[in-house]
């Protein structure tokens, strides 16, 4: 490169880095050309001229490298992986991670619009957004609403919608407010409410009694309560539609003109008359011996109650409802302290915890200290409220027996929304337990559950572990837990109480399209628990399938137990096919002196071979004497007289199989049981193929077992050998319904 080129490169770099452009000499050149001016001849070099100094070559290359570095950094900033995709706007302070097929929100809130990808917050999942939706980790507090609206640049209508607590829906950690259009939350379509509600009809003036009577004719729902000694009863709902119409007609018929009686009479009853358009008329009825009755009425737009004369017959026609309301239990739901005091009167709490799909926890709590703590968890200060009921399923059912013999019932959904009933009548709806209460109740139920309540206490699962070799691990102390979590994530380990708990970890290794593992069910056997795991896969598209490399994992905190803990993984690769359970390594060994945890008697003394065609394996069931005889004829046992069976206690199950003649390796054994089903396994004599049934030396064998009459489903699993002499998996083959 010569001096001219060096100077030219210096000039170009100076223009790029400084932003200055080269001078435009076009006009001067054209002017001289038009005047016929020739460019001057080159002058001879002057003797005193200073020689041109060439720019060092390294300087030019350094400037070029600087340009490339600046351009590279700009490109990285524009394309960095954590840049939010189209359709997602984050509020200030939000923390997120962009995954291959979704955005994972760690904290804060985001605005989702058309074309937004899937958003995941804990166990909540938002997708298919059409319109505009605000989603985040919890419902924002009052002080945070205006700054949040500013950050997300919401319109005035959207601000009002976001400030309306009834527009927010929760599912676990996720809170959602659909501003316009709709979104899908955990598989459910959530549509926005109308931004501008239709105008309501004008309420008549108090003196327009004709219009007021006509309005009373539009009542379609009635609730009432009565007061005694200053305390109101619970609300009574009039459920019979004909009775609702009769009460509304009584109000309309017996209502007189505005009364001159001075105000100030205490209400001894309250009626809420709901109109078809949603408006509510509040009314109270009074009787005055020897005089006309009074009726206080207030419409939504009236600033106060107005009194009207009414016929004495009105109170008489309402006598039955007033008497029924007088017996409605009183719940001080507006007074948190009083509600906790009421709940603390519980002397017994019976619960069912269905958080785990397979094996619900059941038990009864009578410990006074535990019941007192439960009262605070069921009615905390930070309770939420929503008129939109959204729960994937109910997870807690709780029945409280109070010290006066009365009872309260709670049904709590997975999102924390619960219903409270008293003596069968719904008293409270729409309130939401916070996540802290949900977790604390879960731990309380786990500790108090009966022996069949062995369950996952907590779990950590995902798709990106730093452990990339498939393996299972058992952790039983803090030191091992710290080391495992550091190897897995490189961060501080979550708290685990190893005095009461152990952790079982499963790592899937380097594979494609897996989100991790969940526990499908837990079986309890005589001396062991079996955790049955499902791997959560996802689909991709693209070249070679567009598979996403991942390292799935799951870690389960379990109660310490003296029994063995086994694991099985469903390896069934065919959609909608019966599960195929493959044993994983057993990690927790039982004590030698443990007593059997369950008792399940299987009587299989009847055994034979031959006597019928060599068809494929099949099962037959008899529940009564007629089916018992039919089973005997079908198998052709050769027995003229069958043994007597107590059909109130047992059922008969028969199985046929191709096997070597006179084998004794044909047994039905208990694999485990839970509250939903009993799982039995049919052991067969060694490796077999479909052609074995026609092989020399093979014939059909049969066996009949008497098993306890089922109070739950019975599932029979058969082995898969894959050319080995020991089963490599167990296929759910036959189900006997309860």
> What are the pLDDT digits (tens) for 654-711?
887 766 544 556 788 888 887 778 899 887 755 444 444 445 455 677 788 888 888 7
Q: Tell me the two tokens of residue 456.
A: 């996952």
| 655 in Cβ contact with 641 (< 8 Å) | no
- The CA–CA distances, whole Å, from 615 to 18, 118, 244, 690, 691 equal 89, 51, 66, 11, 11
| DSSP 8-class letter at 503 | E
The tens digit of pLDDT for each residue in 116-170 reads 999 988 778 898 888 899 998 877 776 778 888 888 888 888 888 888 877 888 7
Nearest to 17 by CA among 65, 51, 55, 53: 65
Helix or strand (DSSP H, E) at 654: strand 650-660
pLDDT-based confidence at 550, cuts 50/70/90? Answer: very high
pLDDT for res 42 = 44
Choose the weakest-confidence range: 84-88, 107-111, 460-464, 653-657.
653-657
Percentage of the chain beyond pLDDT 90 is 10
Exposed (0-12), middle (13-18) or buried (19+): which is 647, by Cβ within 10 Å?
A: middle
| 492 in Cβ contact with 529 (< 8 Å) | no
Mean of pLDDT values over 377-381: 88
Rg, C-alpha atoms of the chain: 39
| 280 in Cβ contact with 302 (< 8 Å) | no
Mean of pLDDT values over 178-186: 85
pLDDT-based confidence at 77, cuts 50/70/90? Answer: very low
If one compares 41 and 268, the residue with the highest pLDDT of the two is: 268
Mean of pLDDT values over 181-210: 75
Exposed (0-12), middle (13-18) or buried (19+): which is 403, by Cβ within 10 Å?
A: exposed
Beta-carbon-side half-sphere exposure of residue 137 (alpha carbons within 13 Å): 13
The tens digit of pLDDT for each residue in 495-535 reads 888 887 889 999 999 998 888 898 888 888 887 888 999 89
CATH topology of domain 336-449: Dna Ligase; domain 1 (3.30.1490)
Percentage of the chain beyond pLDDT 70 is 70
| 653 in Cβ contact with 340 (< 8 Å) | no
Q: Tell me the two tokens of residue 682.
A: 């049919």
Nearest to 551 by CA among 505, 497, 599: 505
Residue 337 confidence (pLDDT) above 70: yes
pLDDT for res 569 = 92
pLDDT-based confidence at 23, cuts 50/70/90? Answer: low
| 668 in Cβ contact with 716 (< 8 Å) | yes
DSSP string, 322-383: HHHHHTSPP--TT-HHHHHHHHTTEEEEEEEE--SSS--EEEEE--HHHHHHHHHHHS-TT-
pLDDT for res 354 = 76
pLDDT-based confidence at 591, cuts 50/70/90? Answer: low
The tens digit of pLDDT for each residue in 454-487 reads 678 788 888 999 999 999 998 989 999 999 999 9
pLDDT for res 554 = 92
pLDDT for res 687 = 42
Per domain, the residue ranges of the chain are 86-191, 209-326, 336-449, 458-583, 603-736
Beta-carbon-side half-sphere exposure of residue 437 (alpha carbons within 13 Å): 24
Q: Do β-strands 255-258 and 306-310 pair in parallel, antiparallel, or remain unpaired?
A: antiparallel
Mean pLDDT, the chain, integer? 76
Residue 634 confidence (pLDDT) above 60: yes
Exposed (0-12), middle (13-18) or buried (19+): which is 144, by Cβ within 10 Å?
A: middle
d(CA 178, CA 192): 5
Residue 724 confidence (pLDDT) above 50: yes
Most confident range, picked from 403-412, 477-486, 654-663, 725-734: 477-486
Token pair 């008489």 in the structure block, residue? 316
If one compares 81 and 367, the residue with the highest pLDDT of the two is: 367
Helix or strand (DSSP H, E) at 637: none
| DSSP 8-class letter at 576 | T
pLDDT for res 480 = 93
Residue 216 confidence (pLDDT) above 50: yes
pLDDT-based confidence at 272, cuts 50/70/90? Answer: confident
């Amino acid at each position: 490169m010569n001096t001219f080129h060096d100077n030219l490169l210096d000039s170009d770099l100076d223009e790029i880095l400084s932003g200055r452009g080269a001078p435009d000499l076009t006009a001067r050149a054209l002017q001289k050309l038009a005047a016929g001016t020739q460019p001057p001849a080159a002058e001879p070099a002057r003797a005193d001229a200073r020689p041109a100094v060439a720019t060092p070559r390294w300087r030019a290359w350094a400037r070029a490298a600087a340009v490339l570095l600046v351009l590279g950094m700009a490109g990285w900033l524009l394309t960095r992986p954590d840049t939010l995709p189209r359709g997602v706007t984050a509020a200030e302070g939000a923390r997120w991670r962009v995954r291959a097929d979704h955005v994972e929100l760690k904290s804060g809130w985001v605005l989702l619009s058309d074309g937004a990808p899937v958003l995941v917050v804990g166990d909540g999942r938002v997708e298919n957004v059409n319109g505009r939706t605000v989603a985040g980790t919890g419902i924002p507090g009052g002080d945070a609403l205006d700054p949040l609206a500013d950050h997300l640049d919401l319109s005035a209508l959207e601000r009002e919608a976001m400030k309306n607590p009834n527009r927010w829906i929760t599912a676990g950690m996720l809170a959602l407010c659909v501003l316009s259009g709709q979104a899908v939350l955990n598989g459910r379509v959530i549509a926005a409410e109308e931004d501008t509600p239709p105008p309501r009809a004008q309420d008549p003036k108090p003196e327009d009694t004709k219009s007021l009577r006509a309005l009373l004719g539009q009542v379609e729902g009635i609730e009432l309560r009565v007061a005694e000694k200053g305390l109101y009863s619970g609300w009574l709902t009039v459920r019979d539609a004909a009775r609702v119409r009769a009460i509304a007609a009584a109000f309309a018929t017996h209502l007189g003109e505005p009364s001159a009686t001075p105000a100030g009479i205490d209400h001894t009853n309250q009626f809420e008359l709901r109109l078809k358009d949603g408006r509510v008329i509040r009314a109270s009825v009074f009787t005055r011996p020897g005089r006309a009755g009074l009726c206080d009425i207030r419409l939504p737009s009236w600033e106060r109650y107005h009194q009207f004369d009414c016929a004495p017959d009105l109170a008489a026609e309402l006598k039955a409802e007033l008497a029924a309301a007088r017996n409605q239990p009183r719940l001080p739901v507006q007074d948190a302290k009083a509600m906790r005091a009421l709940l603390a009167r519980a002397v017994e709490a019976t619960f069912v915890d269905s958080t785990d799909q397979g094996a619900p926890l059941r038990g009864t709590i009578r410990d006074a200290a535990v019941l007192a703590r439960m009262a605070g968890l069921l009615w905390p200060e930070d309770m939420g409220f929503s008129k939109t009921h959204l729960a994937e399923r109910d997870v807690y059912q709780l029945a409280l027996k109070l010290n006066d013999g009365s009872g309260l019932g709670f049904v709590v959904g997975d999102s924390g929304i619960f219903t409270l009933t008293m003596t069968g009548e719904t008293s409270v709806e729409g309130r939401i337990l916070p996540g802290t209460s949900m977790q604390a109740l879960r731990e309380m139920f786990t500790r108090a559950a009966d022996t069949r309540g062995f369950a996952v206490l907590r779990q950590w699962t995902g798709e990106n572990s730093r452990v990339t070799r498939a393996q299972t691990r058992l952790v039983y102390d803090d030191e091992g837990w710290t080391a495992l979590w550091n190897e897995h994530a490189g961060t501080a380990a979550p708290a685990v109480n190893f005095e009461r708990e152990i952790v079982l970890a499963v790592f899937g290794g380097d594979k494609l399209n897996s989100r991790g593992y969940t526990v499908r069910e837990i079986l309890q056997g005589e001396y062991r628990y079996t955790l049955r795991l499902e791997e959560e896969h996802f689909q991709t598209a693209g070249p070679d399938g567009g598979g996403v490399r991942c390292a799935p994992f799951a870690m389960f905190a379990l109660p310490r137990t003296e029994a063995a803990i086994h694991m099985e993984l469903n390896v069934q690769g065919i959609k909608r096919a019966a599960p195929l359970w493959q044993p994983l390594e057993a990690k927790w060994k039982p004590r030698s002196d443990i007593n059997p945890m369950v008792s399940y008697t299987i009587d299989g003394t009847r055994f034979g071979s031959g006597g019928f065609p060599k068809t494929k394996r099949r099962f037959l069931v008899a529940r009564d004497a007629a089916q018992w005889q039919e089973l005997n004829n079908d198998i052709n046992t050769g027995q003229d007289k069958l043994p007597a069976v107590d059909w109130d206690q047992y059922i008969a199950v028969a199985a046929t199989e191709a096997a070597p003649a006179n084998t004794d390796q044909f047994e039905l054994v208990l694999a485990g049981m839970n509250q939903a089903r009993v799982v039995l396994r049919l052991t067969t004599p060694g490796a077999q193929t479909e052609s074995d049934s026609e092989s020399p030396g093979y014939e059909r064998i049969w066996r009949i077992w008497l098993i306890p009459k089922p109070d739950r489903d019975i599932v029979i699993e058969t082995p898969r050998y894959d050319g080995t002499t020991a089963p490599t998996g167990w296929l759910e083959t036959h189900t006997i319904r309860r």
